[in-house]
């Protein structure tokens, strides 16, 4: 038998990773049925989890928490992916507008980041879970993005809801080659050096190398290095 080439082994590994991921989504659909949602920020590389899940579960609610401070490129990217993948997007915003919040509290992202995240992200997500009567939530977290995410299991329990992380073990290069293989568009800010992008006031470029598989998840890429997480994946989101 002829020995496989390194390239053939690489291709096999990628295909095996994708099949294992699909098996996890299939399991989640079988167990939770219509009580299953997927979340997205329409940030860098969000296309992967959205493409993978929507192909298998085309009617699944896609929860988009819009803080009101996203960069213009993200709103355009959201429109592009929604049309391309025919996503069933459910957009949630804070109970107070960005202008109202600033009038009452000032620039909370500078003075109280936790409270900012609670108002603009955690509360809208909690409301989405209640409105959609979700029992399980698919999220595109990866272990190589933050210290906290490196501690996660593929399926976890987060204070009242199951969390499913189908691409948890994917690396940056796996994401890149998946997007290349399926011809998925990159976020417009990817080529400008952004490896993670959220609100305009707490996102910054980090000088991505020419290598498209360069490491991502730099701690200073969001929140000016003050935090790695925004509370969506760490708080008691379904309890309060």
User: Catalytic: 203?
Assistant: no
Spatial distance between the Cα atoms of 16 and 184, rounded to a whole number of angstroms: 20
Where does the chain have alpha helices with state H?
A: 6-32, 47-56, 72-85, 98-105, 108-111, 113-117, 123-131, 172-182
Catalytic residue among 60, 230, 237, 238: 230
The bridge status of strand 162-164 relative to strand 88-92 is unpaired
Spatial distance between the Cα atoms of 34 and 188, rounded to a whole number of angstroms: 33
Residue 205's alpha-carbon distances to 37, 159, 192, 202, 216, in angstroms, are: 30, 33, 7, 10, 11
Partnered with residue 162 across adjacent β-strands are 136, 157
Q: Which residues are catalytic?
A: 230
């Amino acid at each position: 038998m002829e020995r496989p080439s390194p390239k053939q082994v690489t291709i096999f590994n990628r295909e095996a990773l994708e099949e294992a991921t699909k098996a996890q989504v299939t399991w989640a659909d079988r167990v939770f049925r219509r009580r299953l949602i997927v979340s997205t920020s329409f940030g860098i590389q969000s296309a992967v989890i959205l493409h993978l899940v929507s192909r298998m579960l085309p009617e699944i609610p896609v929860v988009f928490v819009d803080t009101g401070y996203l960069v213009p490129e993200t709103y355009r990217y959201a429109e592009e992916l929604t049309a391309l993948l025919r996503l069933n997007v459910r957009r949630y915003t804070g109970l107070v507008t960005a202008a109202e919040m600033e009038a009452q509290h000032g620039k909370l992202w500078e003075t109280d980041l936790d409270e900012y995240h609670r108002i603009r992200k955690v509360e809208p997500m909690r409301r989405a879970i209640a409105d959609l009567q979700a029992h399980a939530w698919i999220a595109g977290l990866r272990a190589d993005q933050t210290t906290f995410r490196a501690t996660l299991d593929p399926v976890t329990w987060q204070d009242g809801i199951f969390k499913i992380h189908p691409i948890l073990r994917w690396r940056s290069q796996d994401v890149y080659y998946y997007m290349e293989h399926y011809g998925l568009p990159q976020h417009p800010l990817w080529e400008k050096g952004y490896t993670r992008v959220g609100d305009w006031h707490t996102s910054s470029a980090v000088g991505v190398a020419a290598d498209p598989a360069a490491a991502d998840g730099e701690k200073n890429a969001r929140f000016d290095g003050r935090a790695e997480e925004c509370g969506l994946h760490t708080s008691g989101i379904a309890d309060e």
